[in-house]
């Protein structure tokens, strides 16, 4: 992918999905990372097979790990995520299979052109900037390796070809446009109240007879699990860190051993506002330039640069970060961009920069001249990780000594152990296996150790967020059928929830009946202890905040002004409404909205058509025996065992 045809060919042989989704808004998921070549054999952990390609449990775990690096995934949702990942990986392989069958390919030139479009700084004029700088750019902008990035582009282009093949013949008729116009422009204003069971619970006080009846009726439900309390001796790592000292000699050695990481090249930290011109006509480019010049004037008048970037920039990766592109070195961007970035003083905004693909406004946020950071400047940053490492090492050594002492005699006294090794003593309250143990960082390993302990024995040291802890059983209460007094709070909570759900439905039905009989909505709602409200005018694609969407309220658009709708169930809540005002679609505005409405309806129909193609492809491959699914092998995802 250099200036030569040979280099371009090398680039063309690598490229797939996530980056393409990032810039194209396609339907696939960003987190999917290309897999290595699969064998034709079905292994014991194969979850799906498309032709000769397999999807394995290991593949899905790899994708889930990618997600979890950026987002905490609750254990109970892992199964859901695994199912979604399986669907996406299967679809990838289905697309590849169908492409081979139909002879659909992505050419080297198509891939290279797409890279040039979305990473123009990879080229200096017409020449490739070189593999090292290109690798750095891909890592900086997309946090991907070059092979992964390029394979993502290839797969994205392949999906585009199938989308074009499936959706090219789709059009929108006059009748559909009129229906769509009415759908978007008919509006209603509602008098309404939202009745939530949880709002009613506080006012419910079950009688003693009701409590006893509920308990007797559902006695088997009210079990009390085994509960245990322990005494513990804690080796507190945080306290240890406060006592550890790192000599300057050791810090200097660390500095000298890693001197290269403290060497800083000429670089500038910049923010940008991008106005794309690629593929635009000359007239459109002129309009874009005027818009860019107007934004430049605003920036120079003191309007905050980050706010302007969020509002106007067309560069997706930096737009939401206020245009922040991060640090760039020399030879990492196109010459026009580099010249403007390095010429601007700190805090200054550049003139309008024209590149082959866009107009850009640049602001220099910080600058660094090539130098080696001196020891005094960086020693504190060296000290912190060394302190943590040294304290953790000392704690680990102490835990090993504790383990050895306990193995020599499991009957050793916890108090003696704490005194000998300077441990902090404490005890927990009675807890069940599902309760949080906040005193010890709510560690699952600690819970497991507590419920394995036998009376009179000590656990081996268990690692927690606070350090290492040794446990001794203090008290154990076996699981049993709970008496009414033990589970009274649970019985009352269940009763209040049950009665509040019934009350919500009854109040909704009573309010609707009263208003239909002629009572004013506000007065009838207040008489039932409810809060009446009036919405803004909403269309079917709008919503009443924290209440209901226009889609859920579809029946309201079929009513006349003054009509009362049937109570609407929203989960366990109820929505009761009266049409206070109805606004019909204005025919005079149809032409002004026609172009945008056509695009929206086309996009919607294309998505439906592509989803139908996706479903049909899966069904056909199943019938042909080319697609085999074994989703039961996902059962361990989300398992707490």
pLDDT reported for residue 641: 40
pLDDT reported for residue 137: 86
The predicted-structure confidence for 517-546, as pLDDT tens digits, reads as follows: 999 999 999 999 999 999 999 999 899 999
Cβ proximity of 348 and 337 under 8 Å: no
Query: For strand 267-276 and strand 53-56, is the pairing parallel, antiparallel, or unpaired?
Result: unpaired
The mean per-residue pLDDT over the stretch 305-327 comes to 92
CA distance 158 to 180: 32
Among residues 555, 585, 472, 467, which one has the least CA distance to residue 230?
472
The mean per-residue pLDDT over the stretch 425-454 comes to 88
Contact residues for 483 (Cβ-Cβ < 8 A; gap 6+): none
The mean per-residue pLDDT over the stretch 474-479 comes to 94
**Beta strand spans in 39-81 (E):** 46-50, 53-56
pLDDT reported for residue 71: 67
The mean per-residue pLDDT over the stretch 247-261 comes to 87
What tokens appear for 300 in the block? Answer: 């120079």
pLDDT reported for residue 38: 45
Please tell me what DSSP assigns to residue 74.
Answer: P
| CA-only gyration radius of the chain, Å | 33
Alpha-carbon dihedral sign for residues 21, 27, 30, 33? negative
What tokens appear for 47 in the block? Answer: 């979850």
Burial class for 144, CB neighbours closer than 10 Å (0-12, 13-18, 19+): middle
> Is the confidence at residue 639, as pLDDT, over 70?
no
Helices (H), 517-589: 521-527
pLDDT band, very low/low/confident/very high, at 23 (cuts 50, 70, 90):
very low
Length of the chain: 641
Q: With H, G, I as helix, E, B as strand and everything else as coil, classify residue 338.
A: helix
What tokens appear for 271 in the block? Answer: 């923010």
Structural domains of the chain ordered from first start: 5-169+624-634 (1.10.4030), 187-196+489-583 (3.10.50), 226-246+378-478 (3.10.50), 266-369 (3.10.50.40)
> Is the confidence at residue 505, as pLDDT, over 90?
yes
Instruction: Please report which helix (H) or strand (E) contains residue 194, including its range.
Output: strand 187-195
CA distance 360 to 357: 10
Cβ proximity of 223 and 377 under 8 Å: no
Count CB-CB contacts under 10 A for residue 34: 18
The predicted model scores a pTM of 0.54
The predicted-structure confidence for 337-393, as pLDDT tens digits, reads as follows: 989 999 999 999 999 999 888 999 999 999 988 888 898 888 888 888 888 888 889
- The whole-chain average pLDDT of the chain stands at 87
Helices (H), 410-483: 414-421, 444-450
Residue identified by tokens 């070059």 is 146
Residue identified by tokens 């550890």 is 244
What tokens appear for 204 in the block? Answer: 């419910």
> Is the confidence at residue 614, as pLDDT, over 90?
yes
pLDDT reported for residue 496: 96
CA distance 461 to 469: 5
pLDDT band, very low/low/confident/very high, at 490 (cuts 50, 70, 90):
very high
Cα-to-chain-centroid distance, residue 504? 34
pLDDT reported for residue 194: 97
CA distance 602 to 616: 21
The predicted-structure confidence for 118-166, as pLDDT tens digits, reads as follows: 888 888 777 788 888 888 888 888 878 888 888 889 999 999 999 999 9
Query: What pairs with residue 476 in β-bridges?
Result: 228
What tokens appear for 469 in the block? Answer: 């802890």
Cβ proximity of 464 and 446 under 8 Å: yes
**What strands, in cross-sheet order, belong to the sheet with 627-629?**
53-56, 46-50, 627-629
């Amino acid at each position: 992918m250099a200036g030569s045809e040979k280099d371009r060919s090398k680039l063309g042989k690598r490229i797939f999905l996530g980056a393409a989704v990032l810039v194209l808004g396609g339907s696939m998921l960003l987190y999917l990372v290309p897999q290595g070549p699969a064998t034709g054999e079905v292994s014991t952990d194969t979850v799906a097979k498309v032709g000769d390609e397999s999807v394995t449990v290991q593949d899905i775990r790899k994708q889930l790990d990618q997600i979890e690096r950026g987002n905490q995934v609750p254990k109970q949702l892992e199964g859901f995520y695994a199912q979604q990942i399986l669907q996406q990986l299967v679809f990838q392989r289905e697309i590849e299979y169908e492409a081979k069958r139909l002879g659909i390919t992505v050419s080297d030139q198509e891939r290279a052109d797409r890279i040039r479009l979305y990473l123009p700084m990879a080229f200096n004029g017409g020449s490739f900037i070189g593999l090292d700088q290109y690798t750095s750019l891909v890592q900086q902008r997309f946090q991907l390796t070059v092979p992964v990035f390029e394979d993502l582009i290839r797969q994205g282009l392949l999906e585009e070809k199938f989308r074009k093949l499936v959706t090219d013949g789709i059009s929108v008729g006059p009748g559909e446009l009129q229906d769509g116009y009415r759908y978007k422009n008919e509006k209603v204003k509602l008098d309404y109240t939202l009745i939530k069971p949880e709002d009613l619970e506080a006012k419910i006080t079950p009688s003693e007879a009701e409590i006893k009846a509920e308990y007797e009726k559902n006695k088997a439900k009210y079990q009390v699990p085994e509960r245990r309390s322990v005494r513990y001796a804690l080796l507190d790592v945080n306290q240890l860190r406060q006592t550890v000292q790192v000599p300057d000699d050791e810090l200097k050695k660390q500095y000298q051993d890693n001197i290269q990481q403290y060497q800083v090249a000429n670089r500038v930290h910049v923010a940008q506002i991008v106005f794309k011109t690629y593929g635009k006509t000359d007239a459109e480019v002129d309009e874009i330039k005027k818009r860019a010049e107007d934004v430049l004037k605003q920036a120079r008048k003191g309007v905050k640069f980050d706010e302007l970037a969020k509002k106007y920039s067309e560069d997706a990766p930096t737009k939401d970060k206020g245009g922040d592109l991060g640090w760039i070195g020399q030879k990492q961007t196109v010459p026009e961009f580099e010249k403007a970035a390095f010429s601007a003083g700190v805090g200054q905004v550049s003139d309008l920069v024209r590149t082959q693909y866009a107009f850009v406004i640049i602001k220099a946020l910080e600058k660094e001249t090539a130098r080696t950071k001196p020891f005094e400047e960086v020693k504190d940053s060296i000290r912190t990780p060394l302190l943590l490492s040294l304290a953790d090492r000392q704690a680990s050594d102490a835990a090993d000594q504790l383990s050895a002492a306990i193995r020599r005699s499991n009957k050793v006294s916890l108090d003696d152990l704490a005194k000998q090794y300077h441990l902090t003593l404490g005890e927990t309250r009675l807890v069940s296996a599902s309760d949080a143990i906040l005193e010890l960082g709510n560690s699952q390993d600690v819970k497991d150790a507590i419920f394995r302990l036998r009376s009179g024995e000590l656990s081996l040291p268990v690692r927690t967020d606070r350090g290492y802890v040794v446990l001794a059983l203090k008290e154990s209460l076996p699981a049993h059928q709970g008496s009414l007094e033990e589970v009274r709070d649970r019985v009352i909570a269940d009763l209040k929830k049950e009665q509040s759900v019934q009350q919500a439905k009854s109040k909704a039905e009573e309010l609707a009946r009263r208003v239909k009989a002629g009572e004013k909505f506000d007065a009838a709602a207040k008489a039932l202890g409810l809060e009446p409200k009036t919405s803004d005018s909403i269309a079917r694609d709008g919503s009443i905040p924290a209440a209901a969407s226009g889609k859920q309220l579809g029946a309201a658009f079929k009513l006349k002004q003054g009509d009362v709708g049937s109570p609407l169930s929203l989960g366990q809540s109820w929505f009761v409404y009266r049409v206070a005002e109805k606004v019909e679609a204005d025919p005079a505005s149809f032409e002004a909205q026609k172009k945008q409405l056509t695009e929206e309806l086309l996009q919607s129909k294309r998505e439906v058509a592509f989803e139908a193609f996706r479903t049909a492809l899966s069904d056909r491959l199943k019938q042909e025996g080319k697609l085999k699914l074994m989703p039961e092998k996902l059962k361990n995802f989300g398992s707490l065992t």
